[in-house]
Amino acid sequence: MSETRITYLEESIAHLTKVLEELSDVVAGQDKELARLTRLIEMLMQREAEREADAGGSVPLADQRPPHW
């Protein structure tokens, strides 16, 4: 292989390594955001279930059949 070809391959590998690291950081950030949003949804669902129970309904609204059934 010529010196130019080796240099090109080394530069390509360096570029791909950098892109891979950047993508890995993005995926890690998305994982953290998904975990945060999942906790938030669970908290909101719990809060809503408590609110429905405090309202005196025997069956949570989410578990009731629609009136047309």
pLDDT in tens, 12-43: 999 999 999 999 999 999 999 999 999 999 99
68 is written with which tokens? 């047309």
Query: 53: Cβ–Cβ under 8 A, 6 or more apart, which residues?
Result: 60
Domain ranges of the chain: 22-51
- The CA-atom distances, in angstroms, between 1 and each of 5, 9, 11, 50 are 6, 11, 15, 71
Q: Is the pTM of this model over 0.95?
A: no
